[in-house]
Structure 1
Amino acid sequence: MTETAIVNARARVRQLTDLTTRLTARLIDESRAFEARRPQDAAATLAETQQLANVYRRESAQIKADPSAVAAAPAGDRMALVKATEAFEAILSRHARAVEAARIVSEGLVRTIVAEVASQRGSPSAYGASGQANAGDGRAVAFNRTA
């Protein structure tokens, strides 16, 4: 291997390690926000997290497609990337559980609100005794069961 190849591989591995560490830190913060029942705190940084995740996905796909791009990096740098990736995967699982719990709670709240609105309206009747249509409640509520 040439010195240039080693320097480039080392830089690439360190860049990916840094990216993985930053993304892991973002997911830790978001997980804590969800676990503290403060999803609005996670929403405030969602755009940055999505941007980091997209860069991570693109970079890791390139490395997977061409592992020789990092093969020349020193073993210590590659091990640091492996450890950063393991930490990322662990927090990713925790983050997924926290997001799923928040989704379930949110959907439960929406269902409760929909049920309350429906019970307040009473049952509709299309026509009165005179044959004329009854004036109904003009408020509309839409409920979509998918998240």
Structure 2
Amino acid sequence: MTAVTAEEAGERIDQLILLTDRLTRLVAEQAKAFESRRPQDAGAFVEETSRLANLYRHESARIRANRGLISAAPAPQRLRLRRATEAFDAVLARQARAVGAAKTVTEGLVRAIAEEVASQRQKGISYGSNGTQNRAAAATAITLNKRA
């Protein structure tokens, strides 16, 4: 799906429902990847999710600006769109929780590694041949592989 092209309100809603359902499934798959502690698997969905999210944002803005684009559609059809949107909102909240949890775990790991590195460096202080204390090397940044 590259754009919502329907002129008639009912067709437009059908296309929006398809878009919303597809986006909901993609975001749910990403959330599942984070929940199963496999964030690398979420990367498979990034390109399509970004494209569809951009389209969704654009179409949502158009409808907010002109409710007439969908107001002529039958009430049951508008209700289906509302329900699809509610499901999408729920899966977005699920994804936010999963990403937040992954972020917390990652930050904790980085902090633990940095503390361990710092404690190991402090143990290395000794006295040199002239009786002065050898200073530990200055702290350096930890570089992480982007794919890790």
Alignment of 1:105-120 (within 5 A): 105-120=105-120
Is the counterpart of residue 87 in structure 1 residue 98 in structure 2? no
Could you tell me how far apart the structure 2 residues matched to 1:47 and 1:109 are? Answer: 28
Q: Are the counterparts in 2 of residues 7 and 73 from structure 1 also a CA contact under 8 Å?
A: no
Q: Are the counterparts in 1 of residues 122 and 136 from structure 2 also a CA contact under 8 Å?
A: no
TM-score (norm 1): 0.79
2:59 alignment counterpart: 59
1:68 alignment counterpart: 68
RMSD of aligned residue pairs (Cα, Å):
2.8
Q: CA deviation at 1:142?
A: 5.2
Look up the SS of the partner of 1:45 in the other structure: helix
Please give the per-residue CA displacement for 1:52-94, whole angstroms capped at 9, x wherever unaligned.
1121111111101110011112223212111101111111111
Could you tell me how far apart the structure 1 residues matched to 2:118 and 2:54 are? Answer: 42
2:33 alignment counterpart: 33
Could you tell me how far apart the structure 2 residues matched to 1:49 and 1:7 are? Answer: 25
Stretches of structure 2 that go unaligned for 5 or more consecutive residues are 1-5, 144-148
Q: CA deviation at 1:47?
A: 2.3
Which range moves more in the overlay, 40-49 or 19-28? 40-49
TM-score (norm 2): 0.78
Look up the SS of the partner of 1:73 in the other structure: coil
2:11 alignment counterpart: 11
Please give the per-residue CA displacement for 1:80-115, whole angstroms capped at 9, x wherever unaligned.
111101111111111111111011011111111111
Moved over 6 A (4+): none
Is the counterpart of residue 100 in structure 1 residue 106 in structure 2? no
Could you tell me how far apart the structure 2 residues matched to 1:52 and 1:22 are? Answer: 8
Q: Percent identity?
A: 49
Flag the structure with more relative contact order, 1 or 2, with Cα contacts below 8 A and sequence separation at least 6: 1
2:42 alignment counterpart: 42
Could you tell me how far apart the structure 1 residues matched to 2:48 and 2:38 are? Answer: 18
Q: Are the counterparts in 1 of residues 28 and 95 from structure 2 also a CA contact under 8 Å?
A: yes
Q: Are the counterparts in 1 of residues 27 and 92 from structure 2 also a CA contact under 8 Å?
A: yes
Q: Give the letter aligned to residue 73 of structure 1.
A: A
Could you tell me how far apart the structure 1 residues matched to 2:52 and 2:37 are? Answer: 24
